[in-house]
Structure 1
Amino acid sequence: MALQDSNAERRNLTVLSVSIIIYFLADGALINDIVRLQIINVEFQQPEILAYFVWGLLIWFCFRYWLQNKSSWREPLISDLTSSDSCSPIYYNHLVKRFGLGDDYSLSTFDDRHWVKLSKKQSGFVSFQHVYKEDSGKQKIDTLPVETFSDRIIIIRCIVDLFFKQPTLSGYFVPYFLFMWAICLGVKSAL
């Protein structure tokens, strides 16, 4: 079965990391000191050189993946945070209290003309917004920064929720997790 991925660096890092993980978890070992390739008639008398090559290749794939994708997750994450309906139940009650609107906008002037949401800030991350209409019908926006501990916990809960529901973060970070797992298994077996 071929692993189809439009990102070649992610695919290479993932396949090699998973191969190393499977090798160590399945207690893989070379039967003797001679490694043969059946496709062409080649014998390797020093298989440790092949192991060094595989570890070097794994590090090279990780480096290439990092170079190609080092900031590719931030903008889609902010877009997912500000547009995802799955985060609304997480932050709704917190923002209603934070803006002093009472439970279900009971302290607001017009119950049907208000909503709270996450919004992208000029500096690049998110802020909290309360959008409503004044008596004149003009739209007004109040903005609060993410500054308290509970604000940060709400944002982290939204990010964790998105990690499992959207491919933005998981698609970026899972190859790094697999890389670190492969490295840890290799170090453990060497000790």
Structure 2
Amino acid sequence: MAIQDSSPERRNLLLISLSFIVFILGGASTPTDEVRLQVISVSFSRPEVLIVIAWLLFFWFLYRYWVVNRSVFSKEFREEINRMRDKRFFRSFIEDSIGHPLAPQVAVKQPKETGMIIEWLRWHEGCLKAFVMEKALNRQDLGSIQGQGPVDGGLRETVSLSGFKGWSVALRLVVACIIEQPSFSSYIAPYFLALFAIVLGVNEYVL
């Protein structure tokens, strides 16, 4: 069955990793005398050479996947974690930290309304930080915030998710991002599968 994947490097790495995992966990082995390819009538009296070549091919696919995708995950994950700033538990943490309520996400449209907005959420200096500022709000007819303009002299504050409570909130955000957004499963999960195949291979052929 063909695996449909827009990234050929990811598809190749997944297929060869799964092949090794199934081969080793399934207890498969190569014959000690020879391996014969019936279609082209070629036989191999040293099947261990095929295993070495297969592992070289595995590491080539792993290298190609790393080269092509090494900067993609960090870029997409930054964008995804920023979209997590509307989570209710995170908004509650920010409100407790700044001592002011944030502008409600849905409310009655009011003239000249101002409110506290989480402008961005991102990693900075090894810590997850959020920038909060007071803005003039423009709302759609249903009350959701459509656009904002800064308030002169309004409150502006950078909140670091540090300490026990801050790190626990940051961990919840990361877990929610991993579950709800695609970049982790698209770019990091293949590394775990490849690592599992390597560990099985070391245990099978080295130890």
- Superposition TM-score tier, normalisation by shorter sequence: 0.7 to 0.9
Alignment of 1:11 onto 2:11 = yes
Secondary structure of 1:4's counterpart equals coil
Residue 75 of structure 2 aligns with which residue?
75
TM-score by length of 1: 0.81
Change (3 A) 1:12 1:90: farther
Residue 144 of structure 2 aligns with which residue?
none
Q: Deviations over 1:36-77 (max 9, x none)?
A: 112210001100000001111111111111111111011211
Q: Deviations over 1:137-166 (max 9, x none)?
A: 953462315362343432332122111211
Q: Matched residues in 2 for 1:141 and 1:82: separation?
A: 21
Residue 154 of structure 1 aligns with which residue?
169
Contact 1:90-1:158 within 8 A present in 2 as well: no
Alignment of 1:143 onto 2:184 = no
Alignment of 1:35 onto 2:2 = no
Query: Structure 1 or 2: larger strand share?
Result: 2
Residue 164 of structure 1 aligns with which residue?
179
Contact 1:128-1:144 within 8 A present in 2 as well: yes
Alignment of 1:130 onto 2:129 = no
Query: How do 1:95-114 residues align onto structure 2 when only pairs under 5 Å count?
Result: 95-101=94-100, 113-114=115-116
Unaligned runs of 5+ in 1: 106-110
Contact 2:36-2:43 within 8 A present in 1 as well: yes
Higher relative contact order, structure no. (Cα contacts within 8 Å, ≥ 6 residues apart): 1
Residue 141 of structure 2 aligns with which residue?
none
Tell me the C-alpha RMSD between the 2 structures.
3.0
Residue 108 of structure 1 aligns with which residue?
none
Query: Structure 1 or 2: larger helix share?
Result: 1
Alignment of 1:175 onto 2:177 = no
TM-score by length of 2: 0.76
Residue 56 of structure 2 aligns with which residue?
56
| Percent of paired sites with the same residue | 29
Q: Matched residues in 2 for 1:157 and 1:128: separation?
A: 15
Contact 1:36-1:43 within 8 A present in 2 as well: yes
Deviation (angstroms), 1:122: 8.8
Unaligned runs of 5+ in 2: 105-112, 137-148
